[in-house]
Amino acid sequence: MARKKSIADRFADWLPRLVLAPSLLAVIVGVYLFIAWTGWISVSSSKMVPQYDFVGLEQYYRLWATPRWHTAVANLFIFSALFLAVTIAVGLIMAILLDQNIRAEGALRAVYLYPMALSFIVTGTAWKWILNPNLGIQKVVNGLGWESFVFNWITQPDFAIYTIVIAAVWQSSGFAMAIFLAGLRGIDNSVIKAAQIEGASLPRIYASIIVPMLRPAFLSVIVLLSYISIKNFDLVLAMTNGGPGSATEVPSTFMFSSVFRRNQMGVGAASAIMMLMTVAAIIIPYLYSELKEGRDGH
């Protein structure tokens, strides 16, 4: 009496896997195989075109012996630290202020967030103009009567990296605000009421109760901003093009110029692998914890 599975049913069983297969293939090739391929180039003697020989870690030695790379790594640390600290502070303040039953909240939120819709090239172009020492902000302040005011960081090797921080904060703090605000909105109102009844002042409530409850939001913001700062490329290129000299070189611009301008493909690949490893060290634990929590939640 038992009816056996029909061929159509068997095909239906495999259909979901077939549908997913092309994407899986694309990602395995485009992400994982290509990473391996880059890794291979990084242990070869490639210069202008890829060579598939093996020279061990020579390119990595060469990379770490390059002063420009040291500048790039140092800049990445300075940039990331400042960018994260300021963006988080500004984003959090904006989110808390917006959470006070503000009348035009929607409009203000839109204003804080619109830079995220812009290309870093556009942002860089605009800020390069604003920070222009002859005709930009400096001139405006001079014109107001403060004749001695000087704001020429963008042309100063020691300060140019900070101008990139300013532009990056301008572009990304709305994003931090959005995530913090979503976190604030997720907090149960009765917690705040309970604290108010206990007699705590509003700043106190935020400092001791609400901000600590935003831990997941902080984690997300930190991870995503770190990722943005490591892959930051367009903004530097548009604002300073790595200059003056190589003062604002960062790993991403270093990689690009090694490969496309200096014919040092092997060194470029080695720097790309260094970048990848940094990102992976931050992202993989994050994704793992997010997925695990998500599963526990079901």
Partner 1 sequence: MAIEYGSAARSRMIGRTMIYSGLIGLAAFYLMPLWVMVVTSLKPLDEIYGGSFIGLPKVLTFEAWAKAWSQACIGTACTGLKPYFINSLMMVVPAVLLSTGIGALNGYVLTKWRFKGSNLIFGLLLFGCFLPFQAVILPMAQVLGRLGLSGTIPGLVLVHTVYGICFTTLFFRNYFVTIPDELTKAAQIDGAGFFRIFFSIMLPAALPIMVVSCIWQFTQIWNDFLFGVSFTAGESSPVTVALNNVVNVTMGRKQYNVDMAAAMIAALPTLFVYVVAGRYFVRGLTAGAVKG
Partner 2 sequence: MATLEIDRVRKAYGTMEVLKEVSISIGSGDFLVLLGPSGCGKSTLLNMIAGLETITGGEIRIDGDTVNDLSPKDRDIAMVFQSYALYPTMTVRQNIEFGMKIRGVPTAERERATRDAAELLQMSHLLDRKPSQLSGGQRQRVAMGRALVRHPKLFLFDEPLSNLDAKLRVDMRTEIKRLHQRLGTTIVYVTHDQIEAMTLATRVAVMKDGIVQHLDEPQAVYDRPANVYVARFVGSPAMNIIPGRLEDGPSGPALVMDQPNGGESRISGVVVSDDARQRYAGQPVLVGIRPEGFSVSAGGPDCVEAMIEVVEPTGPDTLANFTLGGTDVIARLAPLAVRAGQTAKLAVETAKVVLFDPKTELRID
Chain residues binding partner 2 by CB under 8 A are 1-5, 9, 12
Segment lying near partner 1 (by CB under 8 A), choices 64-72, 78-86, 150-158, 286-294: 286-294
Q: Select from partner 1, partner 2, none the partner in contact with residue 275, using the beta carbon and a kind-dependent cut-off of 5 to 8 Å.
A: partner 1
Taking CB under 8 A as the binding criterion, the range among 65-73, 74-82, 155-163, 274-282 that sits at the site for partner 1 is 274-282
CB of 1 to partner 2, least distance (A): 6
Taking the least distance from each CB to partner 2, the nearer of 3 and 17 is 3
Residue 5, binding choice from partner 1, partner 2, none, Cβ under 5 to 8 Å by partner class? partner 2
Report helix, strand and coil shares of the chain as percent, to nearest 5. Answer: 75, 0, 25
Instruction: Tell whether residue 208 is a contact of partner 1 (CB under 8 A).
Output: no
Burial grade of 189 (CB within 10 A; 0-12, 13-18, 19 or more) = exposed
The residue among 187 and 283 lying less far from partner 1, judged by its C-beta, is 283
Q: Does 97 bind partner 1 (CB under 8 A)?
A: yes
**120 close to 235: Cβ distance less than 8 angstroms:** yes
The answer to whether 255 touches 242, Cβ cutoff 8 Å, is no
Three-state SS at 90: helix
Q: Which stretch binds partner 1 (CB under 8 A): 66-74, 87-95, 145-153, 157-165?
A: 87-95
Binding partner of residue 35 among partner 1, partner 2, none, CB cut-off 5 to 8 Å per kind: partner 1
Taking CB under 8 A as the rule, does residue 48 contact partner 1?
no
Binding flag, residue 269, partner 1 (CB under 8 A): yes
The rounded distance, in Å, linking the Cα atoms of 29 and 22 is 10
Q: How many residues does the chain have?
A: 298
Sole binder of partner 1 in the list 68, 86, 136, 243 (CB under 8 A) = 136
Measured from the CB atom, the residue of 6 and 134 that comes closer to partner 2 is: 6
Cα 228 from chain centroid? 1
Q: Which does 1 bind (CB under 5 to 8 A by kind): partner 1, partner 2, none?
A: partner 2
Nearer to partner 1, 52 or 61 (CB): 52
Tell me how far apart the terminal alpha carbons of the chain are, to the nearest angstrom. Answer: 40
Contact with partner 1 (CB under 8 A) among 193, 204, 231, 245: 231
Alpha-carbon distance 248 to 257, whole Å? 13
DSSP string, 198-264: TT--HHHHIIIIIHHHTHHHHHHHHHHHHHHHHH--HHHHHHTTT-STTTT--HHHHHHHHHHTS--
